[in-house]
Every structure is written in structure tokens, then in C-alpha cells.
Amino acid sequence: MTGEMSPIDKAKYASARRAADYVEDGMKIGLGTGSTAALMVKRLGERVREEGLKIQGVPTSSTTAELARSEGISVITLDEARWLDLTIDGADEFDANLNLIKGGGGAHLQEKIVATASDQMIVIADAAKAVETLGAFPLPVEVLQFGGLTTAALIEETLVGLDVLGREVVQRMHGDAPFVTDEGNHILDLHLKRIGDARQLSLVLNQIPGVVENGLFIDICDTVVIGHGDGKVEIRDINTGTITEETGENAESENLFSDI
């Protein structure tokens, strides 16, 4: 299937391709989950085949693991890797301090474990993911299936005392059944609209019995590579405080998302 890519798809392609340039021979890489991360994995597969790039990848989901293997990337577990040079992943939102909301694809537990076991985390995103304040995107919270309704009620009660604009807690569904993560857990999506203190919220949520992990990534991301519809990329580095712009490589007319 072919066709012209949308501006957002072109932006994702630009950010994914540029981020793949950070990967060097011999690295152990955390491989993110989602449509933009999938493009990055496919680009790394190209480099493996065309350049002889030798890397080992630690996927953050079963879907990414399957894609990486199909692209010829050597896949290992995090326990085998022990520590990673770099993780590249997408995000649902990021703010000026490069704090993130992740978990729209339901893989934020593995994504956070892998990212925090890395020397560096690079996020790839289109410009629409940049926000002044986190919270417009529903915050995913992974919870145990046991006592799920009780956990949801405890979260609702806890939110009353926190600086958020909305407090709706919704169980994520997959068709007619609750969504189940790779770890066999459920996800509650918190429709908060605006998060006044993301650090406090993250800490408080993870103290609630039944909560496994939330989708707030605080002080984990080092660099965001932002793609634009014209192929340009903007790179924001929190460690150096720099923002650079580069003219990227335009995607071909074939719709690269057709098989993702």
C-alpha cells in the first residue's frame, strides 16, 4: 500500500530517522514502543543491513521485539544487557523540562524500567506533543487486576487533594474486555486536563496499593528530537540547555506507516 504521508507522519519519520543517527556500533539500545519508535527500529534495521551496524536491542514490548527481530536486530533481555548505552522512545506529551507522559500504547512500565537503566534517553516526537503543562493527554496508570475497582477508587480519592484540573478515572478497554498489558495488568487512564505538580503526583500515585507504575517520566529524558512536516528537526538537550534546528531528510512518497 502506497500513498502520500500526512504532515504528522512526515514529522514522525524525520524525528525517528534523526534519532537513529545517535546509535553507534557496539551499543546496547533500549527500543521503544509506538508508531514513531517503530520507524526508528526500521531505520536501525536498515543500518544493520546496509552498514553492518552491530547493536543489541532491548525491546519495551512484545510488539517491538517482534519488529526488531524481523529487521535483523539482535534482541536481548534487560537482565542480559544489565545496563544500556541509550534508549530511544516516543512520548505522548513532553514539557519544557523534558518531563513526559507515556503509556498511550500500554507499555510504559517496561519503557520506564528500560529508560532508567540507560545512560541516556532520547525521545522522538512530532511538534504536537510539546505542551506547556502536562495533563491534556490522559495519564496511564498500570494496576493489578486484583482489586482493580478498589485501586481506582483509591486513586479518585487521592486526586481530590492534588493540583489537577480533572479527576475522571477510566479503565482502558480493548474491544469489550479490559486492556491487558504484557505483564498481565490493567490500565486506568486518568483524565486530569492539567497537572500542576507532576513530580508530586507521580510519587503519590505509586504509593497507592495496587498501582504498579504511572506514565509520568520525571527527570528521565535527556534529549527530545522533534520532527516537523517539512522534514526539519529540532533537538532539545536538557543537559546542555541547547536547542538546535537541522534540515532533515524528506520521506519518500511511500506510506511508511502502512505496515506498522
pLDDT tens digit sequence for 169-201:
999 999 999 999 999 999 999 999 999 999 999
- For 31-43, what is the mean pLDDT? 97
Scored b (16 or more CB within 10 A) or e, 161-182 reads: eeebeebebeebeeeeeebebb
Give the pLDDT mean for 57-67.
98
| Same-domain check for residues 168 and 122 | no
pLDDT classification of 250: cutoffs 50, 70, 90:
low
- Enumerate residues 6+ apart whose C-beta is below 8 A from 177: none
CB 163 within 8 A of CB 150: no
Q: What is the Cα Rg of the chain in Å?
A: 18
Whether residue 87 is found in the same domain as residue 189:
no
Residue 51: inside a domain, yes or no?
yes
Look at residue 20 and tell me if it is in a domain: yes
Contact criterion met (CB below 8 Å) for 226 and 13: no
How is residue 31 annotated by DSSP?
Answer: E
CA–CA separation, 88 vs 115, rounded Å? Answer: 8
The residues that bridge with 195 in the sheet, in sequence order, are 164
Measured between alpha carbons, how far is 202 from 50 in angstroms, rounded to an integer? 42
**Model-level pTM greater than 0.95?**
no
Identify whether 259 is part of a domain: no
Question: Are both 117 and 46 inside the same structural domain?
Answer: yes
- What 8-state DSSP symbol labels residue 118? B
Is 258 within the bounds of a domain? no
* Domain count across the chain: 2
- Same domain as 181, residue 82: no
Cell of 229: 512536516
255 part of a folded domain: no
Shared-domain flag, residues 189 and 225: no
Range 13-32 average pLDDT: 98
- What pLDDT band is residue 249 in, cutting at 50, 70 and 90? low
The answer to whether position 252 is within a domain reads: no
Say whether both 189 and 232 belong to one domain: no
pLDDT value of position 254: 46
Domain co-membership, 88 together with 105: yes
Cα separation, 11 vs 130, whole angstroms: 13
Regarding whether 126 and 150 lie in a shared domain, the answer is no
122 and 50 inside one domain: yes
What's the average model confidence in pLDDT over 239-253? 78
- Residue-by-residue DSSP string for 190-227: EE-S-BS-HHHHHHHHTTSTTEEEESEE-S---EEEEE
Does residue 44 sit within a domain? yes
Domain of 155: which CATH number?
3.30.70.260
Asked whether residue 226 falls in the same domain as residue 210, the answer is: no
Query: Has 111 been annotated as catalytic?
Result: yes
Check which CATH number belongs to the domain holding 57 and give it.
Answer: 3.40.50.1360
| Closest-CA residue to 21 (of 241, 230, 246, 238) | 246
Domain span at residue 155 reads 139-214
Q: Which amino acid is at 100?
A: L
Q: Are residues 126 and 161 in the same domain?
A: no
Q: Is residue 209 part of a domain?
A: yes
At 109-152, the pLDDT tens digits run 999 999 999 999 999 999 999 999 999 999 999 999 999 999 99
Mean pLDDT of 77-89: 98
Give the angle subtended at the CA of 94 by the CAs of 234 and 111, to the nearest 5°.
Answer: 105
Query: What was the pLDDT predicted at 2?
Result: 39
244 strand-pairing partners:
235
Same domain? 91 vs 146: no
Which of the residues 71, 93, 111, 234 is marked catalytic? 111
The Cβ of residue 64 has, within 10 Å, a number of other Cβ atoms equal to 28
